[in-house]
Amino acid sequence: MRTLKSKLSTCLLVISLISTSMVGCKKTDTSAPVVTSSIDYVNLTDSSVLCKGTIVDNGGAQIIEKGFVWSLTENPTVDDNQGIVTLKSESNDFEAKITGLMEKTSYYVRAFAKNSVGIGYSQQVKFTTTEKPWEPKHVTNILIEDYTATWCGYCPRIHYAIKDVTSQNENIHALAIYQDSDKKFQYFNQLASTFGVEGFPTAIVNRKATWDYPETLLSLSSYLNSRSPLGISIETSYNNTTASIIVKVEYAKNIEDPLKLVVCLTESKLIGEQANYYDDGNGNPIKDFEHNHVLRRVITELLGNDISTQETLKDNISTFTFNDISLESYNPANCEVIAFVTKANDKSVINVQGVKLGEIKDFQYLAK
């Protein structure tokens, strides 16, 4: 017969075995972490971005590593990326500034977190870096185009206004585009139609807006003070019958919009009659009126020659050469070359340069 002590020992052994069995068979439920990510667009620049991540669930295990991966292609990983940053903080909320990015480029970024089971990734976020701020390096010049005629009695007002502002500021250039007389420009009608000229006189600044009465230097300030992304130089030479012109365009930034170059030849000190409706003591007509900046010919296509977008890169210089330009019956000593670059889409002028025929005008750089 078993003693009470023996029975009690047997009972304790069974309980111990059951307890041990239950502990040894306890199920562990762990998984890779769950992570979210976002971009702080306020801190998005041309070369960097601030990324934010949150560990929603650590997967039941300690986080070993966390951070961000990014790439030009979708769904970057820790093994396949163009950049990775890792963090060691214990907080579930984390952030990092990604640097060294290319401007105006789209990237994909994901936050990640790693535990003993594996790596969890957030949804990918796409962002595009901004354009790098550019600094102008060239002086801004402007163009006034005077649509005029010798029969127009109100046209002397614009002639005098142009004479006034060009004498005060060398960065203002003019084209007097005549509708009549021996000074008539061959393609007057095409230009007038293109730029909406309906009456005389009409003066247009940079092919953008009319120069309204009273035509003053102050009213041109906003154009002269604007920043231009390019500059122009002109080199000219001539003999008795022909001229040669070299125009160079230097870019202060990458320009993606298509551009055009227009090169013109003007002649000044042309003496002739001019109708005059003003009571200024000069009479009507003015017998010996001096007609200046008369547009004689456009050496390029009428609205300009295309500039390849492969050329319009920061610090690059495009060179355009024009040879054997007939001077016909012009007086070379009174001629000037005007060159300007326009936007192909809206035809507005970006920058201008002018030089007397036979002379050189280098790039005008801003003072540092």
Q: Taking residues 260-279, what's their average pLDDT?
A: 98
Number of domains in the chain: 2
Q: Taking residues 24-31, what's their average pLDDT?
A: 62
Is the residue at 1 inside a domain? no
Q: Degrees (nearest 5) of the Cα angle 97, 98, 102?
A: 140
For 201, counting Cβ atoms within 10 Å of its Cβ (0-12 exposed, 13-18 middle, 19+ buried), the class is buried
- Last-in-domain residue among 100, 128, 156: 128
Same structural domain, 354 and 289: yes
User: Please, which pLDDT band fits residue 23 given cuts at 50, 70 and 90?
Assistant: very low
State pLDDT tens for residues 103-142.
999 999 999 999 999 999 999 999 999 988 899 999 999 9
Q: Taking residues 300-318, what's their average pLDDT?
A: 97
Q: How many CA atoms lie within 13 A of 329 on its CB side?
A: 3
Is the residue at 346 inside a domain? yes
Ramachandran area for residue 67 (φ above 0: left; ψ -120 to 50: alpha; else beta): left
Same structural domain, 225 and 351: yes
Q: Taking residues 310-334, what's their average pLDDT?
A: 96
Same structural domain, 81 and 182: no
pLDDT at 132: 84
Is the residue at 249 inside a domain? yes
Is the residue at 183 inside a domain? yes
Is the residue at 175 inside a domain? yes
What DSSP state is assigned to residue 220? G
Q: What pairing do the DSSP bridges indicate for beta strands 242-251 and 317-326?
A: antiparallel
Question: Which residue from 206, 225, 205 is spatially nearest to 215, judged by alpha carbons?
Answer: 205
Q: Above 80 in pLDDT, residue 22?
A: no
Q: Above 70 in pLDDT, residue 30?
A: yes
User: Please, which pLDDT band fits residue 4 given cuts at 50, 70 and 90?
Assistant: very low
Same structural domain, 222 and 149: yes
- Last-in-domain residue among 95, 128, 161: 128
Query: Which H or E run contains 224?
Result: helix 221-224
Cβ-based neighbours of 339, under 8 Å, separated by 6 or more: 232, 234, 245, 247, 261, 262, 263, 264, 352, 353, 354
With tokens 């990640």, the residue in question is: 112
Same structural domain, 118 and 152: no
Is the residue at 134 inside a domain? no
Same structural domain, 246 and 354: yes
Is the residue at 17 inside a domain? no
pLDDT at 28: 56
What CATH code is carried by the domain that includes residue 239?
2.60.40.10
State pLDDT tens for residues 346-360.
999 999 999 999 999
- Decide if 245 contacts 330 (C-beta within 8 A): no
Same structural domain, 62 and 119: yes
Q: What is the spatial distance between Cα 262 and Cα 283, in angstroms, rounded to a whole number? A: 37
Q: What pairing do the DSSP bridges indicate for beta strands 142-148 and 172-178?
A: parallel
Same structural domain, 199 and 281: yes
* Portion of the chain with pLDDT greater than 90, in percent: 89
State pLDDT tens for residues 61-97.
999 999 999 999 999 999 999 999 999 878 999 999 9
Query: Which three-class secondary structure state does DSSP give residue 282?
Result: coil
The domain in which residue 55 lies consists of: 34-128
Is the residue at 38 inside a domain? yes
Same structural domain, 223 and 86: no
Q: Taking residues 328-333, what's their average pLDDT?
A: 94
Amino acid at 34: V
- Last-in-domain residue among 85, 103, 128: 128
* Mean pLDDT rounded to a whole number for the chain: 92
Same structural domain, 262 and 351: yes
Q: What is the spatial distance between Cα 143 and Cα 159, in angstroms, rounded to a whole number? A: 14
Q: Taking residues 240-266, what's their average pLDDT?
A: 96
Question: Which residue from 295, 260, 100 is spatially nearest to 185, judged by alpha carbons?
Answer: 295
pLDDT at 186: 96
Q: What pairing do the DSSP bridges indicate for beta strands 142-148 and 125-128?
A: unpaired
User: Please, which pLDDT band fits residue 240 given cuts at 50, 70 and 90?
Assistant: confident
pTM metric for this prediction: 0.78
Same structural domain, 175 and 115: no
Q: Taking residues 283-293, what's their average pLDDT?
A: 97
Retrieve residue 227's tokens: 């920043």
Same structural domain, 237 and 306: yes
Q: Above 50 in pLDDT, residue 241?
A: yes
State pLDDT tens for residues 147-167.
999 999 999 999 999 999 999
